[in-house]
Amino acid sequence: MEVIKRNNIKIVGKGEKVMIFVHGFGCDQNMWRYIFPRFIEDYKIVLYDHVGAGNSELTAFDYQKYNTLEGYAADLLEICQELEIYDAVLVGHSVGAMIGVLSAIAQPERFSKLILITPSPCYLNQNDYYGGFDFSTIEGMLQHMKLDYADWSGIYASFIMGNPDNPSLAEELAYSFCHTNAAIAQHFARVTFLSDNRKDLNKLKTKSLILQCSNDAIAPEEVGEYMQKHLANTTLVKLKATGHCPNLSAPLETIAAMENFLF
């Protein structure tokens, strides 16, 4: 299947250098609408949907291929090959950030800089590592998704988004969840929340920026500090923004941090 159709690729912008945006779980490329317009004068912007999200081709979803995050990284690298992308700036949110990390490890020539927004290499608490969740909590969440996906969408959208003073943000995320194929979303959630890519961090050589929020229930501050410690060439910026999705809740602060890193 044609890669452009498979991942619903959209290209805008006037620059020669590429900036590619990788969305997180339960979202699609629309989640970047407050961020990418700032960069269209300086970059060629590449937006896409993971298979199973947004307006991607659902028939391209393969449970075996996407049983690890490497399957999603393979898609990203196929996009880069199709569009002849090299030395791009990659902007990844949440699990999209880790998909970007895995892609840059596999083919470092494709990316010159990574901007990692609220990333986590491992969501499970293990020994002296604090990822934010114990196994029973994640299993309970996955069972909730399976039993009542619509109810899960409303509850977890608020949990993930934070910012209770602005409920429209959680409503938008819940809407996005509900417009994702439920079976695929459940599979992607299991792959995401049970992944452990901590051992991959020291393989990354690409210069990177980590944007960390406070009161992030998905990627707590300890995770950002862990990543800073284990990535060789990275800068950690703690935003004033709260919650897990500053690309929606605090786009101006997010853009400012990106600009400081890029220009």
Q: Is 134 a catalytic residue?
A: no
Q: Is 216 a catalytic residue?
A: yes
Q: Is 158 a catalytic residue?
A: no
Q: What are phi and psi of 84, to 5 degrees?
A: 55, 50
For 78-84, the CB contacts below 8 A with 24+ separation are 78/3, 79/3, 79/7, 79/9, 79/20, 79/46, 79/48, 80/20, 80/107, 80/110, 82/3, 82/4, 83/9, 83/11, 83/18, 83/46
Which is catalytic among the residues 49, 75, 93, 94?
A: 94
Which is catalytic among the residues 195, 208, 216, 249?
A: 216
Which is catalytic among the residues 23, 50, 187, 244?
A: 244
Kind of pairing, strands 88-93 and 111-117?
Answer: parallel
* CA pair distance 230, 228, nearest whole angstrom: 6
Catalytic residues: 94, 216, 244
